[in-house]
Amino acid sequence: MFKGFKEFILRGSVVDLAVGVVVGAAFTGFVNALVKDLITPLIAAVFKTPDFSGLTFTLHGSRFLYGDFLNAFISLLIVSAVVYYLVVLPLNALFARLPKEPAPAAASKTCPECATEIPLAAKRCPHCTSELEALEYDR
């Protein structure tokens, strides 16, 4: 009973997923702290209002808390910008500098007579029976 569970837990994909979730949670805390403690006060210094949650209006007895929505929207924009400029752009620049892997060698070639894919080592096309060396096919 526990053997199957142990094999499931120790599978690479499950362990990778668990590590990704833990690192993602830690990174979320980091980005939220960066936005809350550094970037939001900068915006508050410019607009002189760090919190919009008090903004409301009433229509036919219903109270609309558009300030909370505005806070959430601004937070989404700020977090997205921080992630883009501090994670995505640097990683893209890093990956652009890494050497590219060479393209894998072709495993097959195309017959010049019938355009069928055939193995590289073939000397005769299995479909149209053309002799490939006689056609001087060179790829």
pLDDT at 135: 45
CA angle (53 as vertex; 38, 49 as ends), nearest 5: 50
Q: Two tokens at 58?
A: 């009433």
Q: Which helix (H) or strand (E) holds 63?
A: strand 62-64
Q: Residues 120, 108: contact at Cβ < 8 Å?
A: yes
pLDDT at 27: 85
Question: Tell me, which fold does domain 2-97 have in CATH?
Answer: 1.10.1200
**Going by C-beta distance under 8 Å and a sequence separation of 6 or more, which residues neighbour residue 109?**
117, 118, 119, 120, 122, 137, 139
pTM: 0.50
Query: Residue 35 pLDDT more than 60?
Result: yes
Dihedral of CA 20/24/27/31: which sign? positive
Residue 138's pLDDT band, with cuts at 50, 70 and 90, is very low
The residues pairing with 117 across neighbouring beta strands, listed in sequence order, are 110
Domain map (residue ranges) of the chain = 2-97, 105-139
Query: Residue 137 pLDDT more than 70?
Result: no
Q: Number of C-alpha atoms within 13 angstroms, CB side, residue 40?
A: 18
Query: Residue 30 pLDDT more than 60?
Result: yes
In whole angstroms, what is the distance from residue 84 CA to residue 32 CA? 14
**Mean pLDDT, residues 4-33:** 80
pLDDT tens profile 54-109? 888 899 999 988 888 887 888 888 888 888 888 889 989 998 898 888 777 777 88
